[in-house]
Amino acid sequence: MDILTGGAGFIGSCFLAKLNSKGIDDIIVVDNLKEGANKSRNLLGKHFRDYIPKEKFLAYLESNRFPKPGHIIHMGACSSTMVSDRDYLMSNNYEYSRRVSSWAFERAVPFIYASSAATYGDGGFGYDDSDENTLKLKPLNLYGLSKHIFDLWLLKNRRSSMAAGLKFFNVFGPNEYHKGEMMSVVCRCFDQLKSGQPMRLFKSYLPEYPDGEQKRDFVYIKDVTEVMFYFYEHPEACGIYNLGTGVARSWNDLAKAMFSALKMKPKIEYIEMPEKIRGKYQYFTQADMKKLRSCGCRHEFMTLEQAVKDYSSYLSSKSYI
């Protein structure tokens, strides 16, 4: 038996599908189906032992109502970078994670959890996922801070050699339809481009970056779940790891890939960035992949163009993994 928190969410539900594809269905799914329109659709067609609401899970866990699981995969969290309630984020993303991981560590249960590239802040310390660099990081938003504080707690309290944290970069793909303002640009803009509207990208406010040339490490969900399954099968690969492609691509590249998938001529407009996010905007992210490769994971990632083309087949019908 495995426990998967956030199992109805974007990454969690796709990993649930990955487990099912490997014949694994003895899984307890934990989530909050009150949040996110149509989030429950992510569970359709999936196979699992039981579903437990998030608000009941910790009490069940800490009263030992479960047998010892084979793994705990902790994807449950508030992932919005726009949330300004510090207490909520610390309770939901830090304290909740600390309690679940402590339970796992005391029982020597392999623990895989979601960290975030948001912990890197403005990138001033680079994107090196070594322990030494992690200690230096200064996130730009409260979401990134809540994830970073848990990373620091884990490094300080190494009570398990079977804990793996994954710093997700810009993940996109099917099953994100419920995420509202936190949907990827690919998901949010696909229908607009299909109807003939232009792709609207933020202008740049730094001279070294032309408009639309701000760069991100975009990583497709199918690649993400492959890497996650590597850690599922290799609990000895402990530590905190970047999960991106290792290749930064521009927003212009992303737009062109979308128009290409639609077989349309690119049409891009550059708009003003809201002042409230200008000081917290990341102009460049690119995962350093050396640590992931050194632990034995050899997965080859799709190119941005391949991933967007694949995703477009899902977006055309709003189908799910």
Residue of 94, 96, 113, 143 with catalytic role: 143
Alpha carbon of 277 to those of 143, 146, 205, 273: distances in Å?
14, 19, 12, 7
DSSP codes joined into one string, 152-215: HHHHH----S-EEEEEE-EEE-TT-GGGGGGS-HHHHHHHHHHTTPPEEEEPP-STTS-TT--E
Long-range contacts of residues 79-82, Cβ cutoff 8 Å, at least 24 apart = 79/9, 79/116, 79/143, 79/179, 79/182, 80/143, 80/181, 80/182, 81/118, 81/141, 81/143, 81/144, 81/182, 82/181, 82/182
State the Cα angle at 13 between 8 and 18, rounded to 5°. 155
Q: Which is catalytic among the residues 18, 46, 147, 179?
A: 179
Q: How many CB atoms lie within 10 A of CB 80?
A: 15
Q: Note if 143 is an active site residue.
A: yes
- Are 160 and 111 contacting, i.e. CB atoms less than 8 angstroms apart? yes
Count of residues for the chain? 321
β-partners of residue 270 are: 201
Asked whether 155 and 135 are in contact (CB, 8 A), the reply is: yes
Catalytic center residues: 143, 179
